[in-house]
Each structure stands twice: as structure tokens, then as C-alpha cells.
Amino acid sequence: MVKKGEIGDKSEKKKSRWGWIFGAILVVLLATAVASSINTNKISLSNHQHNQACNCADSRKYTGIVEDCCCDYETVDGLNEEVLNPLLQELVTTPFFRYFKVKLWCDCPFWPDDGMCRLRDCSVCECEENEFPEIFKKPGRISSQDLVCQEGKPQATVDRTLDRRAFRGWVEIDNPWTSDDETDNAEMTYVNLQLNPERYTGYTGPSARRIWDAIYTENCPRYPSGEFCKEKKVLYKLISGLHSSISIHIAADYLLDEAANVWGQNLQLMYDRVLQYPDRVRNLYFTYLFVLRAVTKAADYLEQAEYDTGNPTEDLKTKSLMKQLLYNPKLQAACPIPFDEAKLWQGQSGPELRQQIQKQFRNISALMDCVGCEKCRLWGKLQVLGLGTALKILFSVDGQDHVDQHLQLQRNEVIALGNLLNRLSESVKLVRQMGPSAEKIMEGQVFAHADHTSTWRRIWTSLSKLR
């Protein structure tokens, strides 16, 4: 028979044991919360103070030839860091490349407008009439009727060269690859790109997702490998590479603390959106080389172009920087043809396929009018026009007459092309600089999670023995 006192002792021991169990659980929960908080702070608050000189080149996973291009990753990284990025960073600050003409207020042609983003960083600061160069207001001197075509070109082939007579004045003529009416100056406004940098704006959610869903599913689907012809593959990779670049710039210039207006790098966002998907990084390099090829192919034209803004000193500087970019001996020796456009549009279906892809890219261009954030719309329009200009330079075959035209560009197309190349160059540089740090942090987070799981298992095993 169990005595009453013994029952009380057992009850007290049981209470004490469960009290110890709950205490142990509470300690583990607190420790886990503190560890998670430390990891989160390391990720979300990491900024430009990390060691920029350590690029951890030996641990980089991207080596060999960039797929469908004519240069390898190591060469691209070296040229970009040593030659291209410094030149481009300086070029885009000149008056000629600083002011972009854009139609910011326009109706979405595909679905009802969701209204403008209400965040402070979504808005765009437009130029006053007296701010941008007076010469930009003057219409082009050459109309589309003045363009002379070259006869005798094989059907649907792409010429690697351009007419050496090159620049004959800026024109007002629509780009066949984009949807905006570039001649409608009444609805266009000039924007100072230096005052409206591409960065985080808070534009997320269903509206932003709908844009990218429409781009990929309706205009740029990722076909099964067996159905993915070269030309459609190029279009997909161009859009994917541009998407990666945009995500990288959002992560690199991120609003970490809105109340204190603190900006910096969000390494976790960069990893989540780009780095954990190697094909997105590869497509970024592909898009960079594609646009670089367009610029080098149009070298004669761009060398002779007029970069007049009414500031002779700055205009001479712009022309000098452009020549350094176009004829850099290191670039010409290491990567003379970044992308070979002549391999595309072969066979009888070439012209039809080109028209189909051109229509798809025009739809993508039109979708930029549906972007609900004004600053995102600005940079979306600029970069899509830059990509459309690269397509125009590389694939300037007329789909109906099967002839190549003399290259003629709008001033705005060259501005967009130069700024796009700089954005892509900066993204490649950021991947090299931020990538190793982001991946180390994410690996640490995985290990921390494994340690927490292991700790819980050990505690639970110990508690089970006390029962």
C-alpha cells in the first residue's frame, strides 16, 4: 500500500521534472530566436562596407565559354573590371547619355490600370524645359524615305558588317522591335537618369508578378529543350538576363531602413532571386555579350555620331570615351566577336521566324506601359528600348524585301543602348563582388538551421529519457 506522503513526494518530483523540461524548452527557443536574429541582421543589413577587393575568384563556379557566345567567363570578368565598366560608368554621366526621352503616362493596352505605386521612391523627377540640352528638342534631319537599301543580299541572312558611310544624322523613325511611337514628341518628357537611379522602389506583389508572367508565358516561353530553336532560345535568354540584371540592381541598392533612410546591399534578396539559379547568372552574361556585340558591330556609326549637347567640353569627352570603348585593343584582342549573329535566321523559315520573334518583343515592349511604378516603368522602357536597339543593329534584315538597310538610329536609341550596356556591366561586376559573400551567408544559414535541428534532437532525446 502506498502511503499518502509517498504520493505527495512523487507528485512533487513529477512537477519538478516537468518544470525542468519546460525551462529547457524555453532556453532553446530563446537561443534559437537570438541566433536567427543575428543571421537575419547579417543578411538584410549587409552594406557596402564588406571587402570589395576580395572577389574570391578561385571559388567562382562560372568558367569556360559563355553558352552561345564567343568569349569565356574569365575573359568577360577581366575585361569588364579592367576596361569596360570604368569607361561605361563615366560615359553615362555625360550630358548626352544623362537625359532620356520617355512617355511615362500611358494606358496599359492589355488590362485595366492598377494605378500608380504610392511609395516615395516610385516617383520620377522630370526635367524642366531649360534643364536638358536645347539641341535635343530639334527634330532629326533625315526621314525614313531618305534611307537607301543595299541590294543583292541572300534571303534571311545576317550581315556581320554595317555600311561604312555610317552616321548621317539623327533620325525620327520608329524602331520595328519596340512599340512606342518615338516620333510623338508631344507626349514625351525628358528625365535625368542620374537623379532617378535604378534601385529598390517597393514595387512588388500581384501587379509586378503579372508583368513578368505575361512576358514569360505569353511572349517568351521556356520551351522543352527539344522544341527550343536557337532564335527562341536567344529571346528567352535575353529577357532572363535582363530580369536578372534588374533584380541585382534592386538587391544592390536596397532600402534597409525606411525610417532612417538607410540604403545598402540585401545579399539574401540577391541570392534568392538570382544567385541560387545558375542559369539566371549565365543568361546575364549572355545578354551582356549580346548587347556588347551590337555596340562593337555599330562601331563606325557610333564613332561618327554627333554627341552635341551645347557643351563643347563635355561633348568632346563623350566622343573620346565612346572611341575608347569601341576600339579598345584589349577588347578587340580578347573578345573581337562577343556573339555571332550570323548563325541565326538560317533556312526557309528564317524570315517568318524573325517576324514572329519581332512581334513577341514588341509585345514585351508594350507591357512596359503596364508597370504600376513610375520609376520601374522608366528603367523598364529604357532597357527594353536598349535591347530593341541591339536587336535592330544585329538583325537589320527587312522581313518583306529581304534587304539590309543602312543603319540609322535615333538619338534616344543610342542613349538607351549605352545605359543598358552600363547596367549589364554593373550587374556582372556585382555578381563577382557580392556573389561569394551572399553564398557564404546562405550556406551559414543552412548550417545554422542544421545545428538547431540537431540541438532539438539531442534535447528531445534527453527529455524522453526523463519520462
Q: Which residues contribute to the annotated binding site?
A: 199, 201, 212, 240, 243, 273
Nearest to 342 by CA among 388, 279, 297: 297
| Residues sharing a CB contact under 8 Å with residue 456, sequence separation 6 or more, in sequence order | 28
Is 376 assigned a catalytic role?
yes
Of these residues, 220, 335, 370, 373, which one is catalytic? 373
**N- to C-terminal Cα distance for the chain?**
24
- 8 Å CB contact between 189 and 104: yes
What gap in Å lies between CA 136 and CA 132, rounded to an integer? 7
Can you read off the three cell numbers belonging to residue 238?
Answer: 535575353
- How far is the C-alpha of 459 from the C-alpha of 467, rounded, in Å? 13
Known binding-site residues for FAD equal: 199, 201, 212, 240, 243, 273
Which three cell numbers mark 300? 563606325
Secondary structure letter of residue 66 according to DSSP:
P
373 an active-site residue?
Answer: yes
Residue pair 203/117 in contact by the 8 Å Cβ criterion: yes
Please check whether residue 343 is in contact with residue 81, taking contact to mean a CB–CB distance below 8 angstroms.
no
Q: Which residues of 104-142 are buried (b: 16+ CB within 10 A; e: fewer)?
A: bebebeeeeeeeebebebbebebbeeeebbeebeeeeee
310: its cell numbers: 551645347
Other C-beta atoms within 10 Å of 331: how many?
23
Tally of CB atoms within 10 A around 70: 15
Which amino acid type is present at position 422?
Answer: N
Are 156 and 397 in contact, with CB atoms under 8 Å apart?
yes
Distance of CA 37 to the CA centre of its chain: 30
The residue type of 183 is T
Q: What are the backbone angles phi and psi of residue 101, rounded to the nearest 5°?
A: -90, 125
d(CA 404, CA 116): 42
> Grid coordinates standing for 392?
535592330
Active site residues: 373, 376
